[in-house]
């Protein structure tokens, strides 16, 4: 049996340069040229076998986590998220850490954050300009950062919140030069990268201060923010996370949950303003959702799902093989990275009729399979914050649609631009608000209401 599938013969450096600029187009071309499975060679990653067939992707997601290492595939984030981050761990350590982190991201715990999400969105939308074009991506970025700071970090002291609002974007928005030092933290000792260390240390001081406050809080047991739940969480042997581990998980949640959700929301508005009929249905759904009608929530969720299908912000995920594996008729050697290609699966006409059309209706009442709709990855590494992200998308979209009237546009869709591991709208999702709507009625609470004094973590 052959070891590696075919792939471009271009030198590794050239393939890397093309991927950095034209990632979705390059892998789409490779699929057309070589078929559903092909090999790429990428600097600092190595040999990557790209998978686009759901059956092959199932082999990865349902495979033995000891053989398919995701933590190793994420190693380039070590300098930012820290060595005990759930993103970087593998094997039993990953399983145990992830288990401790599940409760705050379960449906009922997320439902307790809904009111904060809608209030934060409403406050931001109140400041949007009227009658001019503006990129909505920075607004979405501010909203999702505030949501994470208040509901995940649980910050409430005004001075600390203000400091976090400044410090976190300086760390999470570090450019390509800084990512060299994040992948090889030793570089931060050297002058050209010392600013990276200073920025991370500044953010760390604020996060450690939050952790200390939480440990000293007499009301810790009643608190519902994610950090409080993580401070309380203990494994079967009653072991709890150290301050350093908590810091690493907080930084991970900020890095994994902020830009991804903001960019997905930006894409949703970019798509809606180019589809007037869908936008009209979305506005009606927002009103229904606010009035407590589940059908409204369902349509907003369908918009979020279809946006994540047609514009997945994370285009593929990786697993480093720790042993040889047979996939798609090849005997892949250990050391190779396999990469389920989220974006290419979502664009497959055999799985989605007219895949280039933005049609939220196709998601109504549908339960897409884990290997045909996979914006959150899959298996034992599926995004821990998927429920949180879906709720946030629904709530922020609802607040936008019922507070402002958006202009539609016949302009061509914005192209996808590569930034770090994310695909964002090239111009920041430019939209225009034509008018403000009358102040909306308060939202009727839906979903599982959990008593404020009870928390499912223990
Ligand atoms: C639309 C928004 C989001 C998208 C598209 C997204 C996507 C992803 C993807 C593709 C992965 C890798 C899965 C894999 O390797 O199979 C992932 C992992 C992860 N995400 Fe998200 N994510 C989003 C929002 C969030 C949020 C809001 C949080 C938390 C606040 C979060 C926390 C995490 C964590 C902790 C992991 C690592 C899980 C592990 O390794 O076990 N994500 N996400």
Which residue has its alpha carbon closest to ligand 1 atom 16? Answer: 377
User: What is the C-alpha to C-alpha distance for residues 204 and 157, in angstroms, rounded to an integer?
Assistant: 17
- Structure tokens of 121? 């969105």
446 occurs within a structural domain: no
On the question of pLDDT at 130 being above 50, the answer is yes
Note the pTM of the prediction, 2 decimals: 0.95
313 occurs within a structural domain: yes
2 occurs within a structural domain: no
For position 315, what pLDDT does the model report?
A: 94
User: What is the C-alpha to C-alpha distance for residues 396 and 400, in angstroms, rounded to an integer?
Assistant: 6
Q: Is 295 helix (H, G, I), strand (E, B) or coil?
A: helix
Measured between alpha carbons, how far is residue 234 from residues 89, 106, 237, 241 in Å?
Answer: 18, 17, 8, 8
Residue ranges in 184-242 assigned as alpha helix (H): 194-216, 226-232
Ligand 1 centre to CA of 312 (Å) is 12
Which residues sit with their C-beta closer than 6 Å to ligand 1? 70, 86-87, 98, 152, 252-253, 256-257, 260-261, 264, 313-314, 317, 375-378, 381-385, 388-389
On the question of pLDDT at 452 being above 60, the answer is no
What are the backbone angles phi and psi of residue 103, rounded to the nearest 5°? Answer: -55, -45
Which residue has its alpha carbon closest to ligand 1 atom 14? Answer: 377
Q: Which of 311, 279, 217, 213 is nearest to 432 (CA)?
A: 279
Query: pLDDT tens across 324-338, in order?
Result: 999 999 999 999 999
- Structure tokens of 76? 């380039």
458 occurs within a structural domain: no
Which residue has its alpha carbon closest to ligand 1 atom 39? Answer: 381
What are the backbone angles phi and psi of residue 340, rounded to the nearest 5°? Answer: -60, 120
4 occurs within a structural domain: no
CATH number for the domain including 140? 1.10.630.10
The best mutation among 373, 385, 416, 420 to test binding of ligand 1, ranked by most ligand atoms within 8 Å of the C-beta, falls on 385
Which residue has its alpha carbon closest to ligand 1 atom 40? Answer: 87
Contact 24, 315 (CB under 8 A): yes
Contact 202, 167 (CB under 8 A): yes
For position 66, what pLDDT does the model report?
A: 97
The best mutation among 61, 62, 74, 260 to test binding of ligand 1, ranked by most ligand atoms within 8 Å of the C-beta, falls on 260
227 occurs within a structural domain: yes
The confidence band for 442, taking pLDDT boundaries of 50, 70 and 90, is confident
User: What is the C-alpha to C-alpha distance for residues 311 and 375, in angstroms, rounded to an integer?
Assistant: 9
Q: Which residues contact 441 (CB under 8 A, 6 or more apart)?
A: 290, 291
448 occurs within a structural domain: no
Per the structure, the complete domain to which residue 210 belongs is given by 12-436
**Mean pLDDT within 260-289:** 98
Which residue has its alpha carbon closest to ligand 1 atom 19? Answer: 383
Q: Is 284 helix (H, G, I), strand (E, B) or coil?
A: helix
Which residue has its alpha carbon closest to ligand 1 atom 21? Answer: 383
Ligand 1 centre to CA of 377 (Å) is 8
Which residue has its alpha carbon closest to ligand 1 atom 36? Answer: 383
Number of domains in the chain: 1
Contact 85, 252 (CB under 8 A): yes
Beta strands 68-69 and 325-327: pairing type? unpaired
Ligand 1 centre to CA of 252 (Å) is 9
For position 446, what pLDDT does the model report?
A: 61
Which residue has its alpha carbon closest to ligand 1 atom 27? Answer: 257
Query: pLDDT tens across 134-165, in order?
Result: 999 999 999 999 999 999 999 999 999 999 99
3 occurs within a structural domain: no
Ligand 1 centre to CA of 218 (Å) is 32
Q: Which of 155, 160, 233, 190 is nearest to 79 (CA)?
A: 190
């Amino acid at each position: 049996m052959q070891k590696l599938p075919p792939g471009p013969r271009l030198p590794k450096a050239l393939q890397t340069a093309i991927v950095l600029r034209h990632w979705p187009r390059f892998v789409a071309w490779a699929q057309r040229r070589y078929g559903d499975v092909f090999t790429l060679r990428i600097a600092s990653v190595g040999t990557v076998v790209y998978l686009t067939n759901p059956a092959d992707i199932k082999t990865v997601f349902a495979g033995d986590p000891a053989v398919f290492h995701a933590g190793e595939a994420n190693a380039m984030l070590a300098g930012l998220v820290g060595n005990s981050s759930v993103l970087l761990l593998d094997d039993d350590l990953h399983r145990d850490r992830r288990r401790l982190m599940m409760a705050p991201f379960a449906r009922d715990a997320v439902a307790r954050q809904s009111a904060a999400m809608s209030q934060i969105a409403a406050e931001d939308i109140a400041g949007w300009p009227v009658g001019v074009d503006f990129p909505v991506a920075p607004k979405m970025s501010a909203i999702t950062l505030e949501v994470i700071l208040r509901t995940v970090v649980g910050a409430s002291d005004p001075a600390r919140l203000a400091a976090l609002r400044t410090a976190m974007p300086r760390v999470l928005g570090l450019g390509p030069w800084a990512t060299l030092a994040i992948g090889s933290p030793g570089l931060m000792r050297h002058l050209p990268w010392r600013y990276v260390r200073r920025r991370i240390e500044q953010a760390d001081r604020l996060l450690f201060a939050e952790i200390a406050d939480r440990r000293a809080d007499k009301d810790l047991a009643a608190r519902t923010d994610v950090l409080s739940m993580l401070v309380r969480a203990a494994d079967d042997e009653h072991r709890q996370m150290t301050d350093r581990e908590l810091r690493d998980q907080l930084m991970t949640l900020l890095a994994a949950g902020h830009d991804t959700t903001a960019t997905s929301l930006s894409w949703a508005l970019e798509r809606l303003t180019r589809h007037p009929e869908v936008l009209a249905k979305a506005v009606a759904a927002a009103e229904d959702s606010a009035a407590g009608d589940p059908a409204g929530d369902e349509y907003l969720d369908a918009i979020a799902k279809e946006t994540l299908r047609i514009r997945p912000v994370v285009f593929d995920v990786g697993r480093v093989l720790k042993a040889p594996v047979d996939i798609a008729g090849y005997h892949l050697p250990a050391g190779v990275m396999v990469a389920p290609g989220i974006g290419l699966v979502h664009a497959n006409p055999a799985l989605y009729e007219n895949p280039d059309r933005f049609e939220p209706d196709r998601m109504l009442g549908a339960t897409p399979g884990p290997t045909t709709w996979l914006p959150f990855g899959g298996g034992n590494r599926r995004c821990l914050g998927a429920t949180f992200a879906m709720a946030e998308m629904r709530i922020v979209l609802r607040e936008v649609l019922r507070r402002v009237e958006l202009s539609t546009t016949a302009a061509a869709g914005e192209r996808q631009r590569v930034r770090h591991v994310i695909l964002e709208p090239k111009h920041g999702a430019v939209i225009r608000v034509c008018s403000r709507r009358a102040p909306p009625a308060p939202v009727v609470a839906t979903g599982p209401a959990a008593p404020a004094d009870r928390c499912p973590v223990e």
